[in-house]
Amino acid sequence: MNRAEFVERVEGCQARLYRVALTVLGSGADAEDAVQEALIAAWRALGSLRDERLFETWLMRILINRCRGELRARARRAAPVPDEVLRAGGLPKDVPEPPDPGLYRALEQLDYKYRLPLMLSCAEGYSTDEIASMLRLPGGAVKWRIHQGRIKLRELLKKEGRIDE
């Protein structure tokens, strides 16, 4: 894959990468940084991509690893900077606001192990096999986490009065 092909493929999935990073990290600035770091790492490791058809899955895996690294780094830091302070620069212009901010707030309350597979499946449309590859989990574990995530999300939405019993 040459530089032009790499750029074209990245442009096709950049908004999706950002949304996934934002879902995992909860901060627009951290999501932008994670995407940028993942793209740099992907370019440097392009020779390790065995099947170009799996480019997006491979790139998403790199991004998820970067996000996990950021979450570990946050745990070591004493005082996180509030997202409102970091958002002063605004979101990238080509990434639309979520259609239902309340739903995204409820998603943010889910444990990471349920939130990420649920978001990748329902919001981004990845298959169970693709998610399993990204998260390095068996397909059955991915299905279970999506199922449990839906149950927990439904409970949260019921508590908020957003859906009926």
Q: Which tens digit of pLDDT belongs to each residue from 97-134? A: 555 666 777 788 888 899 889 888 887 889 999 999 88
Name which residue leads in pLDDT, 163 or 2. Answer: 2
Q: Kindly state the average pLDDT of the residues 28-38.
A: 92
- The model's confidence at residue 84, banded by pLDDT at 50, 70 and 90, is low
**DSSP notation for 43-105:** HHTGGG---GGGHHHHHHHHHHHHHHHHHHHHHH-SSPPPHHHHGGG---TTSPPPS-HHHHH
Q: Which pLDDT tens digit goes with each residue over 59-81?
A: 999 999 999 888 888 777 755 56
Hey, what domains does the chain have and what are their CATH numbers?
1-96 (1.10.1740.10), 99-165 (1.10.10.10)
